[in-house]
Amino acid sequence: MTTIGPAIPLKDQVFNRVGDISREINNTLEQAARIAIKSGNNEQLALFRARFNSLRNASKDVAFEIVTVLKRYKGVALTVWEIASPDARATVNEELKYFVDERYSQSTRTIIEAFLNLRRDFEQFIAGVSSGDLKEQLRVLVQKVNELTDIWNAVFKETGEFREIIATAVEALTNMRLKKIVQIANQKADVIGVSLETYIAAI
C-alpha cells in the first residue's frame, strides 16, 4: 500500500487547526481579490475560492463516510468475543471482509488528488502574476493547501493500514489470534475516527 505523497503519522496532524487553515485560505483569497482588481485577476481568484470551498465540503463528506464505516466496524468487532462455533466465525469473517474493501481509500485518494490539482493551479496562476504584493498573498495559499494535503495523505496511509490489519484478521487460524488482531485494528480505528471527527467539526 502506498500513499500519493509524503505522509506523517496521523496522531501528529494538527486536526484542530483545519478550521483555522480553511479560514486563512478564504481570507487570503478575499484579500488577494481586492489587490487583483486593478489587474483583472479578481474573477479568477473568486473561482479559486469557490473551488476550494467545494473541495472543503467534499473532504468533510469523505471524512464522515470513513467515520461511519469505522463505527460500523466497531459494532462487528464486538461480536468477535462472542464466537462460539465455526458458523459464527464464518459469519464474522464475512462481515470483516467488508472493511477490506478499497472504497473509502478511493474516496480519500480523490480528495488528495483534488488538493494536489488545486495547488498546481495556484502555482501556475502565481507564476503569471506581476504584482509582488499579490504574489506574497498567494504563496500563503500553497503552504496552506499543502497542510491539508498532508492530512489526507496521512488518512490514506492509516486507512490502508487498517484494511491490511482486517485482512490479516480474516486469515487468522485461531479465534485467539483473531481477537488479538482485532484489538490492534480497534486501536487504529480509534486514532482515525477521533482525528476525522475533529476534522469534521473544525473544517
Residue 6 included in any domain: no
Give me the number of domains the chain comprises: 1
Please say whether the beta carbons of 194 and 8 come within 8 A.
Answer: no
On the question of pLDDT at 138 being above 90, the answer is no
Residue 59 included in any domain: yes
From 172, 145, 182, 181, select the one nearest 55 (Cα to Cα).
Answer: 145
Please say whether the beta carbons of 129 and 135 come within 8 A.
Answer: yes
Residue 3 included in any domain: no
- Residue 5 binned pLDDT confidence (cut-offs 50, 70, 90): very low
3-state helix, strand, coil in the chain (%, to 5): 85, 0, 15
- Residue 31 binned pLDDT confidence (cut-offs 50, 70, 90): confident
* pLDDT single digits (tens) 152-189: 999 999 999 999 999 999 999 898 999 999 999 999 99
Residue 5 included in any domain: no
DSSP 3-state of 129: coil
Residue 80 lies in domain: 14-202
Residue 114 included in any domain: yes
Residue 47 included in any domain: yes
| C-alpha atoms less than 13 angstroms from C-alpha of 90 in its C-beta half-sphere | 3
